[in-house]
Structure 1
Amino acid sequence: MTAREHYSVTEAADYLSTTVRFIRRLVADRRVRFYKVGRYVRFKRADLEAYVESGRVEPITAASVRRDLRRAA
């Protein structure tokens, strides 16, 4: 079975394991790329994955803490 390319708001919420309200807020704030098909809003899987990847946070390491402390001084 192949993965779908386009998702509705409900399907996007399921895909990201969030609520429909959160997805609608992302659309209202234009924080995620979306497509209008008539009156419907659709999302490409790649755009949803790009949104998730843009929120990636690197783990803290001892070296990064020392580097940040040197910058602050």
Structure 2
Amino acid sequence: MSIENRTGLELLTIPEVGTILKISVPTVRRLQQQRKIPFFKVGGCVRFIRSDIDAYLQKRRVRSVDEYQ
């Protein structure tokens, strides 16, 4: 379950990121360990900021041929 703290940042767990990206938990862990997705640790638990996940998706978006014109 995601949490919203006082700063308005939506914090996500590894399984939540997997659900959003439609990938497995081990794949999320691999991306996190390879530091391909920004993360931070809180008390030993890995957390992600929703806007970082959205930015990760945006960076990997492949433009259509029509967008190049």
State whether TM-score is above 0.5: yes
TM-score, reference length from structure 2 = 0.77
Partner of 1:41: 46
Q: Distance in 2 between matches of 1:14 and 1:59?
A: 25
Q: Bigger radius of gyration, 1 or 2?
A: 1
1:21 corresponding residue in structure 2: 26
Following superposition, the deviation at residue 60 of structure 1 comes to 2.3
Tell me if 1:52 matches 2:57.
Answer: yes
- CA RMSD in angstroms comes to 1.8
Distance in 1 (alpha carbons) for counterparts of 2:20 and 2:64: 25
Q: How many Å separate the matches in 2 of 1:6 and 1:24?
A: 16
Percent identity over the alignment is 34
Structure 1's consecutive aligned runs of 4 or more residues displaced over 6 angstroms after TM superposition are none
1:60 alignment partner AA: V
Which amino acid in 2 is paired with 1:7? L
Between the two proteins, the alignment pairs up a number of residues equal to 61
More helix by share: 1
Q: Quick check: which one's strand share is greater?
A: 2
